[in-house]
Structures are given as structure tokens and as C-alpha cells.
Amino acid sequence: MAERGREHWGSRIGIILAVAGSAIGLGNFLRFPAVACRNGGGAFMIPYFISFLLLGIPLCWMEWSMGRYGGRYSHGSLPGILDAVVRKPWAKYLGVLGLFVPAVIFLYYTYIESWCLAFSVFSLAGTYRNVAEPLAMKTFLQGFQGLTDGSSLGPAYGFFLITFAVNMMVVYRGLTRGIEFLCKIAIPVLLVGGVLLVIRIWTMDSPVPDMPDRTLNQALGFMWNPDFGALRNPTVWIEAAGQIFFTLSVGLGAIMTYASYLREQDDVVLSSTTACGMNEMVEVVIGGSLVIPAAYLFFGLEQTRAMAQSSFDLGFVTMPCIFNGIPWGDVFGFYWFFLLFLAGITSSISLMQPLVSFLEDEFGWTRHRAVTVIGIFAFVCSHACIFGLSMGVLDEFDFWGATLAIVICAMIEVLVFIRYMGVARGWEELHRGGDIRLPGWLKGVFYVTPVYLGAILLYWAIFSWVPWIAKPMGWDISVSWVDGIRVQAGSVNGVILLVRTFLLAFLVGLLWMIRVAWKRKLPARQGTGGAA
């Protein structure tokens, strides 16, 4: 077993908070309540919890187990981990998505994260204090993003520079002094800030004097009253599975990389379950209690229903309008956006780590060198998202990286776990050094997870990708319901083609790097019997 002085987590709470931080993102506060509202309210929690148990937790267990296993062979990124598990020459190439997905998401995620930081500063400075109507707030947001005529991108770019620099600094400082240190502060602050906001919103009964019927009870009812009839719709089940999948940050390769820094006898089973639980706590208990109830209290049933169609507008348009209408709104607005910023930064730093680990482990680079090179690359490429926002560049990155490739990557991980690690060996790996032992019959869940995931993939293929292919051919198959997926038929222009070419080139470049890395290590591998 080749230990080459890899870093390790400083404490168990450190990795739990880091993984929880990776999972807790903007979606916990914005996407979950909107999706729940649109899909049966309280009844949505039934498929949601089933998906959590059959898909979310098993996927996390698999990623943690395989990650720690790879770490024992000094591999912290998916190509190396798959190479260690499968021991076939082709396996490492399958892991390319574990580098591609987090890198592509990182390119635009830091920019969105910087909007949160900007709006938290704007809240304190009172920049949007006089904007009371959602339509005007939307115009303010678009002006900030440089999407309206005559608006300047200067402030947005300034905040992006700050956000990007903070991200780089955290990852540059290393695992314990950077990532672990930040998460140990950010997650508790996020939890306390979230609870304070819930208390504030739950105590503002009937804020609109001429609408006394808008009570907290009705607002919560809008979110939680179950429509059990919705459960007959397969879309609701797929939406629930998709929400669980995206909220837990599985399929990214980030959790595996984090787990690779565990020691051989460190617990996995209890720590991973705790991290999953913490993410769910933030999503359901805090996230589900904020935006929708607040929007209902202020704007009533019809407007809230319309607002729930766009998760993003709920956070950046609806919430600032609400904070403008309550006492101490500036401070609570700051809390809200800073909370989103913390959720964002704890996720974005985890997105960078797989590439850093790849360069460190497979090329023997130092962390500082790896972070510097990746930082320069990411900084340059991020400009495409900043300046190409109006041309749909960010949406392209989001579609290929965060929606399509992520599910395929997760499917590869699951199949490798089942086929090459094996359920029995995987179960033992999961419990190695474990502080708890799960009942043996739970092993069966590992067989259910790939079927569940395969069903999602098939459903998406039929209802999302088929129209995408079919529309330009004149076939009328127009079902597009998956939140965040942009059906791009008819909107392919020069810029979009350029972005797709770049993404393809990036993917090929990563494959080439994997090949080079293994070729360079070939003599050493032949000595140890590893897959070449």
C-alpha cells in the first residue's frame, strides 16, 4: 500500500462538516421549496424520503467507501479510484467525468456565488432599499448582471474577483488549514443564521394590513398541505429522485475526493450518514420554512404560485422585496444572502478539490502548483459565463456539466461498485473501522439503487433528450418538465456551438491527461502489479 504523505482530515467533525458543506448549496434554500410546492406539497415528502433512503444514502455510502479505498492507494480523484477498484486499463478513462463535472460546474458556480456576496453587501448598504415590486427587483438584478441596456458589469465583476480569490485562498491553504477550517466556521454560522431567519419569517404574521387572511398557518399550508393525487403522476417521483440526487452532491466526485483523505481505519458509515442527515436538516427544516412561506405572506397565493416556477427568482427577486418590507430588513437581507454565499462557497471549494487531487496524486505536483494552474485556467474560462450570460453560456455549462454528465457519472460509480467492488466486499469496506454496524439486510438496497438511477436516466432520455434531438427534425415531442434542463432545440447559435466545442475539447484534454499520467507511472505500476 503506497502511502506518499497524502493529507488527512484533522478531525472527524471536519470531514462531516466539509461533506455537509459540499452538499448544502443554493438548491437547499431555493430549489427544494419550489419543487416541493409544484409537486404535491406535503405529499411530495413521501417520494422524497423514499428516494433519500433508496438512492441518496446508498450513493453516499458507495462514494465514501470507494473514496477511502482509493485513498489507500494514493488516489483521490475518480480516474485513480476506479483504477484501484476495477484494476483494468480502461477503468481510469471512465473516471474522466469525475474531473469534468466538478470543473465545469466550478466555472459558473463561483460567479453565481458572487451574486450572493454582492447582494449581501447591497442589503447592508441599502442599494436596493427603494425597490419594492418584484418586476422592478428583477430589472435591478438584470442590470447588475449586465443584461439590460446601458447597465455596467463592473460591480458584478468586482464581486466575482473577490469570490474567486477567496475560493482560491481556501483551497490553496490545504485540507485542514483551508477547507476544514472554513467549513467548521461556515456550517455552524449557516445553521444559526438559517434558524434566525426562520424565526423572523414565522413571527411576521399578516405583514400586509389589507390582507389579514395571509397568515403563517395558510402560508405553511401552501407548502405542506398534501395533494396525494399528485403521487399518481410519475413526474412527481422523478422530481423527488432528482432533488435528492442533486442536493446530496453525489456523482460529482467531490465526496469521493474528500473521503480519500480519510485514514484506513476512520469511520465511514456513521460519518456519511450524519453528513446526509445534516444536509436534509438544512433543506427540509430550514429551506422549506423560508422562501415559500415568506412569499405567500407577502404576495398571496397566485403570485407565489407563479414565483415558485423559478427557484432562482425566489431567492434573488422575491426575498429582497420581502426584506424591503419588514423592520430591520437590511440586516435580514444581509443574513439571507450571506447564508446563500456560505452555502455556495462550501460547495465550490469541494468542486475544485478533485482536479487538485488529480494533479497532486497522478502527476506528483504540489498543492500550491496544482491550485495555481487550475486557478488560472478556471479564471480565464469563467469569463465565458460572465460575459456570455445573455447568450446562454452559463445554461450550457449547467446543462452538460450539472445535469447530464453528473447522472452518467453517478451511474458509472454505482455500476463499478456493484460489479467490481461487489456488494459483499463493498459492505465490508463500508464498515471497516465503522462506529456502527448496519443490519445485514440493508445490503439489498445496493441492488435497488442502480435500478432507481437507471429509471431516472431512462425517463430523462425519453422526455428531455428526445425532444432535443427530435425538434430540429420537425418532430413534435415537446415534453420538458425537468427543472433546470434547458431544451435547446432551435436556439443553437455560433456561441453555443463554440461552448460545446470547448466542453468537448476539455473532456478530450482530460482524457489525454489521464493517459499521460498513467504512462508516466507505468514503470512503477508494473512493479506493483497495478493496472496500466
Partner 1 sequence: MNLLGWAMLLVSWTAILLLVAVCVRKILIVDRDNIHAPLDIDTDPHSDPK
Which positions touch partner 1 (CB under 8 A)?
12-13, 16, 41-43, 45, 49, 217-218, 220-221, 224-226, 267, 270-271, 273-274, 277-278, 280-281, 284-285, 435-436
Q: Give the distance from CA 53 to its chain's centroid.
A: 19
Q: Tell me the residue length of the chain.
A: 532
CA dist 143 and 149 (Å) reads 8
What is the phi/psi pair of residue 75, to 5°? -120, 125
CB atoms within 10 A of CB 199: 11
CA dist 234 and 348 (Å) reads 32
CB of 356 to partner 1, least distance (A): 28
When the beta carbons of 243 and 382 are compared against partner 1, the nearer one is: 243
Identity of the residue numbered 62: M
Identity of the residue numbered 49: F
Identity of the residue numbered 476: D
CB of 285 to partner 1, least distance (A): 6
CB of 254 to partner 1, least distance (A): 21
When the beta carbons of 204 and 389 are compared against partner 1, the nearer one is: 204
Burial class (CB in 10 A: 0-12, 13-18, 19+), 523: exposed
When the beta carbons of 3 and 435 are compared against partner 1, the nearer one is: 435
When the beta carbons of 198 and 322 are compared against partner 1, the nearer one is: 198
When the beta carbons of 13 and 373 are compared against partner 1, the nearer one is: 13
CB of 431 to partner 1, least distance (A): 14
CA dist 24 and 181 (Å) reads 17
Q: Closest Cα partner for 174 from 357, 344, 361?
A: 357
Q: Closest Cα partner for 340 from 103, 33, 28, 121?
A: 28
Q: What Cα–Cα distance (Å) separates residue 113 from each residue in 49, 59, 116, 262, 504?
A: 28, 26, 5, 28, 25
CA dist 137 and 14 (Å) reads 39
Q: Is the CB of residue 520 less than 8 Å from the CB of residue 121?
A: no
When the beta carbons of 101 and 292 are compared against partner 1, the nearer one is: 292
Q: Per the structure block, which three cell numbers stand in for 431?
A: 464498515
When the beta carbons of 298 and 341 are compared against partner 1, the nearer one is: 298
When the beta carbons of 281 and 445 are compared against partner 1, the nearer one is: 281
When the beta carbons of 256 and 282 are compared against partner 1, the nearer one is: 282
CA dist 266 and 259 (Å) reads 10
CB of 421 to partner 1, least distance (A): 24
When the beta carbons of 45 and 136 are compared against partner 1, the nearer one is: 45
CB of 295 to partner 1, least distance (A): 16
Q: How far apart are the two ends of the chain, measured CA to CA in Å?
A: 17
CB of 46 to partner 1, least distance (A): 8
When the beta carbons of 134 and 293 are compared against partner 1, the nearer one is: 293
CA dist 197 and 333 (Å) reads 9
Q: Is the CB of residue 351 less than 8 Å from the CB of residue 102?
A: yes
CB of 52 to partner 1, least distance (A): 9
H-only helix segments in 87-133: 91-94, 97-125
CB of 511 to partner 1, least distance (A): 39
CB of 245 to partner 1, least distance (A): 18
CA dist 55 and 72 (Å) reads 26
CB of 219 to partner 1, least distance (A): 8
Q: What angle do CA 5, 6, 12 make, to 5 degrees?
A: 120
SS3 content of the chain, % helix, strand, coil (to 5): 75, 0, 25
- Cα four-point dihedral sign 142, 146, 148, 152: positive
When the beta carbons of 83 and 280 are compared against partner 1, the nearer one is: 280
